Chains A and B, each alone.
Chain A
Amino acid sequence: MKAPLLKLLILSSLCFSLLACEPWERVPDFDVEQVEGYRPIYATESEKQIKTLPAQEIDDPGKIYVINDYLLLVDRLKGIHVFDNKNPENPQNIGFIQITGSNDVAVRDNILYADQATDLLAIDISNPENVKIASRVKGVFPFGIQYPQQQGVYFECPDPEKGLVIAWELTTLQSPKCYR
């Protein structure tokens, strides 16, 4: 009686510790063959550039940030919408800073700090029409957002060799190895 219980305990603590270190689980090979799930879409060279683009419609709103009369809104994994909010009754969408793979933002003294997958970026925004990377600290974030927003889904494990994940598409997967 004691042995199975011990096994269960070890197994469950193992699962638990695995869960604790990774925001997703590895699924065993035999678990599923063909199943609906998410496949990562990787950034193209042009999408990897940090640059100012014309104002865009909000697609997947994330975190917000206020600096002086300006309101910043993260579009998950795509970049940051910039609104002139001098008059909150009529905010103006004035531009979009493309930071592919980003989720978080903070601004101090005309420098915008953002994450890009596993890196921390400092971006000079004193001329918002032409933003420039002031610096990049590599490998600050262990995971980045390398998994789909959806939960309780299978997905193709992202391959760091292929670069930045910018979106997830729903498709049919063959024996996916990741689940969350």
Chain B
Amino acid sequence: MKNLKLYPVLILFTALVLSVLTSCSSDSEFDGSGEGKGGSMARFTFLKGYLYVVDQSTLKTFDISNPENPNLLGTENVGDGVETIFPYENYLFLGTQWGMKIYSVEDDPIPNFLSDFEHSFSCDPVVVSNSIAYVTLRSGTTCQTGENRMEVVDVSDLRNPRLLNTIPMENPHGLSVSDTVLFVCEGDFGFKVFNIKDRSNPELISHYDSIPSYDVITNYGRKELIITGRNGIFQYDYQDPYQLKELSQILSTQGNE
């Protein structure tokens, strides 16, 4: 009799344990909802629900409302040597070997050419924040005449970009802006942190020369920085940009050697 009375309690207890267990497991379930964020070296980006892809010489627009059947809406010829694409407000900024190109998707999902900011032959990603574009130009064997530098370009008039400043660099790759801080990957030369309180005049805060870096993503909300390079993934807290705090490292085969 005593045991029988315990049954409902036992059942309740089991149910409770089960519910806790399942809620825990659903917590760790993969969440790929919404839209993610790529680095500045990306060739894919979303804007207003469309997927934009750049390859060597074209900019393609895909209607992805039905992922089972992505619909190629248009292919714009954008000239040779397109390297990267960056979304900013209603605009797409293309980093090409010849310079930066700005397209608008304000009125139509098919991008509409606005302007071209040309420089010497280099490889270059671009990021934009507060109407200022930061463009890195890197030399390499395929970009033989290229110089290593960063250009600061005023894009408040999207049809007429204006060069504000040029900063010499070593071998710049990806870059990322977070508020008043700018992070630039310098390839095998490490990565650099700039103060851009004065938007047109980046001031070098620090140079981490032992972390080879290729691309970077900043998480604005958490003030966290994710850097990748041939040695793996390195994460930092940049609450205090003058004193980055290392959070973790995931080393690659090469980084482990």
A interface residue numbers (CB < 8 A to B) = 20-21, 23, 57-73, 82-85, 88-91, 93, 103-113, 115, 120, 122, 124-128, 134-135, 137, 140-143, 151-152, 180
Question: Which B residues lie within 8 Å of A124 (CB)?
Answer: 67
What's the least CB distance linking B78 to chain A, in Å?
A: 13
Instruction: Please state if A90 and B248 are interface contacts (CB–CB under 8 Å).
Output: yes
Inter-chain CA distance A139–B37, complex, in Å, is 25
19 contacts between A and B (CB under 8 A): A57-B253, A58-B250, A58-B251, A58-B253, A60-B252, A63-B41, A63-B228, A66-B37, A68-B36, A70-B32, A82-B30, A88-B247, A104-B53, A110-B32, A110-B33, A113-B64, A124-B67, A135-B67, A142-B55
Kindly report which residue of chain B lies nearest to residue A82, judged by CB atoms: B30
Inter-chain CA distance A127–B31, complex, in Å, is 9
Kindly report which residue of chain A lies nearest to residue B43, judged by CB atoms: A104
Kindly report which residue of chain A lies nearest to residue B35, judged by CB atoms: A108
Question: Which A residues lie within 8 Å of B142 (CB)?
Answer: 23, 151, 180
Question: Which A residues lie within 8 Å of B215 (CB)?
Answer: 63-64
Instruction: Please state if B248 and A122 are interface contacts (CB–CB under 8 Å).
Output: no
Q: Looking at B38, B81, B251, which has the most chain A CB atoms within 10 Å of its CB? A: B38
Kindly report which residue of chain B lies nearest to residue A129, judged by CB atoms: B30
Instruction: Please state if B226 and A140 are interface contacts (CB–CB under 8 Å).
Output: no
Given A58-B250, A90-B248, CB of A64 within 8 Å of CB of B32: no
Instruction: Please state if B60 and A140 are interface contacts (CB–CB under 8 Å).
Output: yes
Total B residues in contact with A, Cβ cutoff 8 Å:
57
Inter-chain CA distance A151–B53, complex, in Å, is 25
Stretch in B154-162, B197-205, B229-237 touching the partner: B229-237
Given A71-B226, A134-B67, A142-B55, CB of A107 within 8 Å of CB of B32: yes
Question: Which A residues lie within 8 Å of B70 (CB)?
Answer: 120, 122, 135, 137
Q: CB-CB contacts of B37-70 with A at 8 A, as 1s and 0s?
A: 1110111111000010101110010101001111
Question: Which A residues lie within 8 Å of B37 (CB)?
Answer: 65-67
Question: Which A residues lie within 8 Å of B35 (CB)?
Answer: 67, 107-109
What's the least CB distance linking B251 to chain A, in Å?
A: 7
Q: Tell which of B38, B64, B68, B250 touches A65, judged by Cβ atoms closer than 8 Å.
A: B38
Kindly report which residue of chain A lies nearest to residue B249, judged by CB atoms: A91
B8 interfacial by beta-carbon distance below 8 Å:
no
What's the least CB distance linking B164 to chain A, in Å?
A: 29
Question: Which B residues lie within 8 Å of A151 (CB)?
Answer: 140-142
What's the least CB distance linking B65 to chain A, in Å?
A: 10
What's the least CB distance linking A49 to chain B, in Å?
A: 19
Given A70-B31, A151-B141, CB of A64 within 8 Å of CB of B228: yes
